[in-house]
Amino acid sequence: MAERETWTTDEFGSSHEGSIGVILPDGTVPEPAFFPLSSGTGGQTTSQWSVYDGHFGFTPKAHALRAVCSCGWTGTEYPLDWEQIGEQDLRVAAGDLAEECEAEWWDGHTSTVEKSAIAVPEDITDLLRLVSEKIEKLTRQSPLAAVRAARLLEVTAVRAGYWPAHDARAKASPEEAAAALGLNEDDTRYLLARFGTWSPYS
């Protein structure tokens, strides 16, 4: 898989992996760029947006940037002004546009995913936030005690999730479960299997 800078959230992980995508003048998405080693053997493949500057013949020149997500979502297209960019390094010259793309993914797309996921009662979210704050406070007094508290929280979460995972598997389709959790179907299957202690391949 070609290398490029990506972003994820703690809750949604690889189900919603964001990055900056490149659009060519004809509206297509370029293939990953390959840069051979000077020795002539092997090389590096990348889809990092900043390499699509048309230099050296290795990559085409990008027409626009946009935020993209592994779920298929795409953001606003931001055209590149090559007359203004000139011979500047693309990462520097288009840094502001790249930041716009990233902000759109964080503030727009992931917020929408979070709102579309099934709601958790406020008293539970408040309790989880309180526990997190207590552990953070405990860290300043005794880091080891805080680690043990976090471990107990982890054990409690696994125990608490056992029966809900089994009930969800029995009562919801894979599509319904994935939509409710804000994950793709593969990640949902692994999550339920982990909490329900069954094989994700069963």
Q: Is the dihedral of CA 48, 52, 53, 54 positive or negative?
A: positive
Q: pLDDT tens, 99-110?
A: 999 999 999 999
Q: Between 56 and 78, name the one with better pLDDT.
A: 78
Q: pLDDT tens, 59-84?
A: 899 999 999 999 999 999 999 999 99
For residue 39, what pLDDT band results from cuts at 50, 70 and 90? Answer: low
User: Nearest 5°: CA angle at 165, between 164 and 171?
Assistant: 85
Report, as an integer, the average pLDDT of 126-147: 98
